[in-house]
Amino acid sequence: MLRIEGLDVSIQSVSILRGVSMALPTGKFAGLIGRNGAGKTTLMRSVMGILPARRGTIRFDELPLDRMPAHQRARGGIGYMPEDRRLVPQLTVEENVLIPAWAAGVAEPQSRLAQVYKMIPEVEAFAGRKALQLSGGQQKLVALARALMCGTRLLLLDEPFEVWRRCWPTGSRK
Amino acid sequence: MVMEAVRAQQVTVLFVEHDMDIVNRYTHRVLAFYEGRIIADGEPASFSTMPRCAST
């Protein structure tokens, strides 16, 4: 269960989230909708630990996340795909996908990597290329694979379906 | 394939999306944000009458 209570988040003294509360049971999918600037991405970044909460609590399976750094959250099975990808351009695709596993100290990352490649075989096909050589759609795919590396219990995905719109614009969504 | 695999593994997922067809297809819950607050929270089917200002 992801449980958020009374979450306030500010960025450079500008209040972005105001008293956000929600609870999402294990295994459920929730879609966040709203205008740009409404706070959707800020909520994701707060759950991942990239933005600190000014007030309120975030718990995942009763574990308090509030003051836990992002790499510890990754170790706990939380994966994040930012909307703007944030790949390291000079690293290969495979190295980019492995970054959160390295940061979190995941045991046997190659085993998880094989599972991720099974879910997104397209990424394995260009695993040896540098991220800077990829198209925007391919970069989104790699960012999704990177989120899946550690996101074995909770996935935070910022516009994931952009991947399908970019990579298979006329194909079926998977 | 990815979403089906994630669902089978009982992973909890929060995702941002602007296309309500996708939201309706893949989610159990929808959270509508407006100016930093959640102004609506419910099953996708309940969002057909949501205020237009909450959508994109």
The answer to whether A14 contacts chain B (CB < 8 Å) is: no
Query: How confident is the model at residue A55, as a pLDDT?
Result: 96
Query: How confident is the model at residue B51, as a pLDDT?
Result: 53
Could you tell me the pLDDT band of residue B49, with boundaries at 50, 70 and 90? low
Question: Does position B56 have pLDDT exceeding 80, yes or no?
Answer: no
Alpha-carbon distance B44 to A40, whole Å? 17
The answer to whether B14 contacts chain A (CB < 8 Å) is: yes
| Residue B26 falls inside a structural domain | yes
Query: How confident is the model at residue A140, as a pLDDT?
Result: 92
Full domain range(s) for residue B30 = 12-54
A77 Rama sector, left if φ>0, alpha if ψ -120 to 50, beta otherwise: left
| Residue B1 falls inside a structural domain | no
Alpha-carbon distance A87 to B51, whole Å? 37
**A20 close to B37: Cβ distance less than 8 angstroms:** yes
Q: Write down the pTM of the prediction.
A: 0.90
The answer to whether A123 contacts chain B (CB < 8 Å) is: no
Q: Who among B11, B27, B41 is closest to A22 (CB)?
A: B41
The ipTM assigned to this model is: 0.89
Sheet hosting strand A63-64, strand order edge to edge: A14-24, A2-11, A55-60, A63-64
- Domains (ranges, CATH) in chain A? 1-68 (3.40.50.300), 77-174 (3.40.50.300)
B54 to chain A: closest CA residue: A34
Please, what are the averages of pLDDT over each run of 10 residues along chain A (174 residues)?
Answer: 96 95 96 95 95 95 87 91 91 96 88 94 95 92 95 95 68 46
Inter-chain residue contact B2 with A119, CB threshold 8 Å? yes
Nearest CA among A84, A87, A11, A68 for reference residue A42? A11
